[in-house]
Chains A and B, each alone.
Chain A
Amino acid sequence: MIRDVLKIGALVFLLAVLQLSAMPQLTPGPAGPDLLLILVVMVALLRGPEAAALTGFAAGLLLDAMLVGRLGLSSLLYIAAGVWVGLRAEPGDQVVPTIPAPPRPSAQLAYVVAATALVQVATAAAHVLLGDSYPVRYELTTVIIPTIIDTTLAALVLVPLLRRLLPYRIRLDGYPVAAL
């Protein structure tokens, strides 16, 4: 478990730095991939909703701190995304000791895309509530849709990588092993 904590902590730090330092330069257009969200979704799928909530909180906190933005907003959204994915992907009524199959790669990618869309729409909605929103057309064409596309493309590389770094483990009751 400690190894998982260290690995996920390092990944949060590394992906946050990459997301803010390298990705804006490497991706065309004003948007960039949400690498931290990919991590949160993968933790949710491979380690369960609680681990995903903790990862989301840490990732969001670091991201907002690095951006010198509204501290807590990204955490809130990442936690929500991680918990949502984690709960949806839970094995459910498994008969112990049946071992649930890990989510398929295509399903993992689908979760990443769905979570990105939800987080992007929720971020835009939050900004509307906070009074610093842009026109819907601008949000859609320059932020939401490009971010979903960029994140999907990045997920094609990052998801297999994270699957190898965080191997799928299950408990005897059929639930994924909590990471933290």
Chain B
Amino acid sequence: MIGLLLAASLTLLTLSFREGSQGAIGAIQRGALATTAPVSSVVTRITQPFVDAWHWTSGLVDARAENIKLKREVAIYAAQNQQLQQLRYELAQDNQLIKFTDQSRIASQYDYVGGSVIRQVPNAYTQTITIDVGSSEGVAVNDPVVAPAGDSNEFAGLIGRITAVTPSASSVQLILDPDSAVSARIQGGTVHGVAMPSDADPGLLSLKMVPQEEQVSTGQVVVTAGLQANAQHLSSLLPAGIPLGQITSVSQDELATTKTIQVTPFVDFGSLDRVLVLKVHGP
């Protein structure tokens, strides 16, 4: 019987080749199609809800997987964007420092070395930072340190002086430190004073010891005078002409002998990153 069935199959196959969809073979196929089509239609209708449910479920799974994938991509792009923003910020700061070194008369007089802030003490009583350049790069104690001046017309402003040096790092006492005092003058004039942290606002400077008779107005730029001082005595020199800040208020007490002048530093001390050390005292 098996042989007969095999022979019948081979015969059908041969006929199918010869006749194609014509003749008896075509009639058989058309008959089968006509017979099964209604059943197929019913089966399709019955299974359609399951098919739809299957597609819905698989679509949901796909959507969830895609959602997770997209969230992961968004996180990656956000991190990359953050990195890019940081690089842009650092580049802008570097550009400002380059302009300072190109165009500032002070910077052209001394060697300099660029560095990054590696530690900042967020403390009103100890305003110091640590930078990643030290004696190996020629940095010495009392060298002035400048930083990009942000949105002001100046390219860079004084932030402090080196107080301690190791081969690979240095400590900088900021001009906002309570122990800091910098001899200063008003740019384009002869008015001298001492720039010290403001008693009222630790983020500002006060230009002290300016006699009452001197003519001072807001908007004037305060620069280093060339003498650095602390509370006790005059000790060392800073190069003259390094921008410090801009006068934002001037008040006059009739009983006092000196003016009260408030100076807003050019540098944003809250976001110090790139700095330049002028090698004034170095080899």
Contact surface of A with B, Cβ cutoff 8 Å: 13, 16-18, 20-22, 25-26, 28, 49-50, 53-54, 56-57, 60-62, 64-66, 68, 70-73, 75-76, 79-80, 83
Contact = CB atoms under 8 A, between A and B. Distances in A.
A76 B1 contact: no
B39 interface: yes
B16 to A, nearest CB: 4
Contacts of A75: 5, 8-9, 12
Contact of B25 (A50, A66, A71, A73): A71
Contact of B12 (A16, A53, A61): A61
Interface of B: 1-2, 5-6, 8-17, 21, 25, 28-29, 31-33, 36, 39-40, 43-44, 47, 50-51, 54, 58
Contacts of A54: 1, 5
A72 B16 contact: yes
A72 B11 contact: yes
Contact of A65 (B2, B5, B33, B40): B33
A72 to B, nearest CB: 3
B13 A53 contact: no
Nearest to B14: A72
Given A25-B47, A60-B9, A72-B11, 11 more contacts: A13-B39, A17-B40, A22-B44, A22-B51, A53-B6, A54-B5, A56-B5, A61-B28, A72-B12, A75-B12, A79-B9
A28 B51 contact: no
Contacts of B1: 50, 53-54
A60 B12 CA distance: 11
19 contacts: A13-B36, A22-B50, A26-B47, A26-B51, A28-B58, A49-B2, A50-B1, A50-B2, A53-B1, A57-B8, A66-B32, A66-B33, A70-B17, A71-B12, A71-B25, A72-B9, A72-B14, A75-B8, A76-B10
A54 B8 CA distance: 11
The secondary structure that dominates the B interface is: helix
Given A49-B2, A65-B29, A70-B16, A76 B47 contact: no
Contacts of B9: 57, 60, 72-73, 75-76, 79
Contacts of B43: 17-18, 21-22
A49 to B, nearest CB: 7
Contacts of A13: 36, 39
Contacts of B10: 72, 76
Nearest to B31: A65
Nearest to A18: B43
Contact of A66 (B6, B36, B47, B58): B36
A106 B276 CA distance: 79
A25 B82 CA distance: 46
B272 to A, nearest CB: 58
Nearest to B41: A21
A53 B40 CA distance: 25
Residue from the set B9, B11, B39 with the largest chain A CB neighbour count within 10 Å: B9
